[in-house]
Each structure stands twice: as C-alpha cells, then as structure tokens.
Copies of this chain bind each other. A is one copy, B any other.
C-alpha cells in the first residue's frame, strides 16, 4: 500500500491510496477517515511511503442455535452501518447485507441467536411513511416468532423513525433497538462494531420500548440507550452525535456488555403486540423564522394539510403576522401544534401575551416534545382522532414517554 501526497490546484491532500475501480481516478483515505476521489489528469501525485497491508483475520463463528440465548432479529434498512465505499467517487454506498454484518461483528453470536432480515436498502434521508410501514410490519412479524429486534438504520433520520415506531408499535413485549454508524465499517474509526454489539446486548434485556443505541462518547467505552421519543442527532459526524433531550438516557451498555439502567423497566403488556398503521400523512413540520411570510401557511391550508407543527421561537412563538392564517387554518379543521426550535426546554405559551393569543386561536402547546417527535405523533394521533378536543387531549397526553413531567401551567 502507498501513502500519497496529491496536489490539486493550491490544495494538497495526504492519505493512503485505496483501490479504484476506474483507472481514471485516484482515491485517498484521508487521515480524518474520509475518502476523496480525484481525476488522475487534474492532479500531481507524490509517493510518500510504501508498506505492506496488515492482514485482517476475521474469526468466523458457527451460527449454531443455542437454547439458553435469546433470539434477536437484525433488520437491515440500509445506511452507513450497512455500507462500503464506492471507490470511483470516494462516496459511501449501502452494500452490506445483514449476513455480511454477521462477519463484521462475530461477538454477537456469543450473546444471542441472530436472525438477519433485509427489509430496505436505502440511505435514511429517503425514509418515508410507506417505508416506515414496511419496517413496522416486519418488526411485528419477527416479534411474533419470539425474537427481540435490532434495526440497522441510517443516522440521518434514525430519530424520526424511532419516534414514529414508538407511537405505532403497541403492546411491545421486547426491546426494539435502532442503531447505526457515523463512519462506515471499512474505516479504522468505524463505530459500527460497538454500536451493533451493544444493541444486540440490550435487545436481550427485559426492556420493551423503542430505543436508539449509539456511542455515548467519542471513545469505544460505552453506548447510551436513548428513549425513542427523546433523542436527536445533534452532530453531523461525531460518533456520539445522538443525545437524549430533556431527559436522561434509559441505559448505558459498556463495551464489555455490562448494562446499567437509569430508571425502572417499562410496564409489561398482556395483549399481543401490533403495528398501528392508521397514519395521517398530510402533516408539515414548519420551522418559523424572522420575516417569514403568511403565504406559506396559506399554501399548506389550501393544499389540505391536516396538521402543521409550528417549530416556533423561544417558549413557543410565531410572528404575529401569521395569526390570521393560523386562525383560518384552525377554522378549516387543521391542527396546529407548537414546539420550540430551541430544542432543549419546554414550550410555555402563558408567559407572554403573544403566546396566550396563539393558545386562544387554538394552537396546541406540546410541552417538552421535540419537533421531530411532535411530527410523528401528529401522524399517529390524526390517523385516529378527528375532533379538535380529542386531538388536543391526545397531543397533550403522554403516549410513549414523549412528554416529561413538570408543572403544566393552566
């Protein structure tokens, strides 16, 4: 293998050359872990060092069934955790099947009987309601076979999926653990291995809610298990990008498999688990900003959106020039819910007269719910309730842990 210095215009890049499927390109793995591709005819190349590649010996385990272990289904949906490099462009492509994931993380066969199942093969920015339904139905099928669930998911929208599943998977009897990776598994800095190991480990517990299990720090020391309705991706690239908001994580899983819970186990259900597929799709998540025009609301109203999450400023405000359109929308039966773009903290629309005005108009304050969570909750709630009072009550009632306790000011 070669370490190269590549000069393109005024910029100089240094890294290990990785195989390119196209002779016209040179691909470098930079020291920061990212890959970058160059057209050969546009660059100057200097070889800094040549060395032997260390052979990677992967111990392949026999997937023999062991009665004393829990059965865990690993549902593949795509994303970085199931991806490898496209050497032409230096970009990452979804490519590993769950079968291939088994080879990557042999340790998981010591702690559970693993059942891989590929449901989707997408990058998670393309997640949508139709695909959520596929995943939801697959989960219930797997649970009916006595299996716990791990879902390999792209990180872009993992928190949206986690909250959607939190509202729509009912009477869960086992953990449903979403996990992903911020760096693809062929990079030295990949977090796939520990995330998958900790997720499978957590899937063998008596917990029975939807959670996200991802690196807790930048080191490979432990993962946090976040409640699916209280988690957000808060960094574009760091391994510890996922954070619990307005609450503590549910648990910590150490790299050696030790688990520490931060609260009581959730209530158990007697009834059979099912996926509730009654979903209202016409919901818009609108971030409010200075100088926004009311015409966007008028457009959404005219396009017959059934619900709008207002991601307001501060304690839950919008410019007052939106009030007339909000009023018109509510008169037409559209539900307006308020969250805050501050992310942390709680909406309180009683402090300022502008907030009280919005409440008078019928805007529903959504306490300390994240905007993303409010969005998937509205999909679920409006799939069932049709009347304002019923919708308001459901939105302001804790369904899946999305509202944490506090004095609610009347």
Contacts and interface: CB of A to CB of B under 8 A. Distances in A.
B156 A11 contact: no
A269 interface: no
A314 interface: yes
A342 B407 contact: no
A350 interface: yes
B342 A233 contact: yes
A168 interface: no
Of the listed residues A157, A236, A241, the one surrounded by the most CB atoms of chain B closer than 10 A to its CB is A236
A144 to B, nearest CB: 26
Contact of A289 (B233, B296, B344, B375): B375
Nearest to A183: B351
Of the listed residues A35, A132, A345, the one surrounded by the most CB atoms of chain B closer than 10 A to its CB is A345
Size class of A's contact patch? 35 or more
Interface stretch (A121-129, A192-200, A249-257, A391-399): A121-129
A299 B118 CA distance: 37
Contacts of A313: 124-125, 156-157, 233
A170 interface: no
Nearest to A128: B291
B156 A234 contact: no
A248 interface: no
A285 B281 contact: no
Interface stretch (A60-68, A89-97, A101-109, A205-213): A89-97
Interface of A: 8, 11, 30, 32, 34-36, 86, 89-93, 123-129, 132, 154-157, 160-161, 233-238, 241, 281, 284-292, 295-296, 299, 303, 311-321, 340, 342-348, 350-356, 372, 375, 407, 409-410
Given A30-B407, A234-B344, 12 more contacts: A32-B407, A91-B353, A92-B353, A123-B317, A123-B352, A125-B314, A154-B314, A236-B316, A236-B344, A236-B345, A236-B346, A287-B287
17 contacts: A91-B356, A123-B354, A125-B312, A125-B314, A126-B321, A126-B354, A127-B290, A127-B291, A128-B319, A156-B314, A161-B290, A234-B342, A236-B345, A237-B346, A286-B287, A287-B287, A289-B375
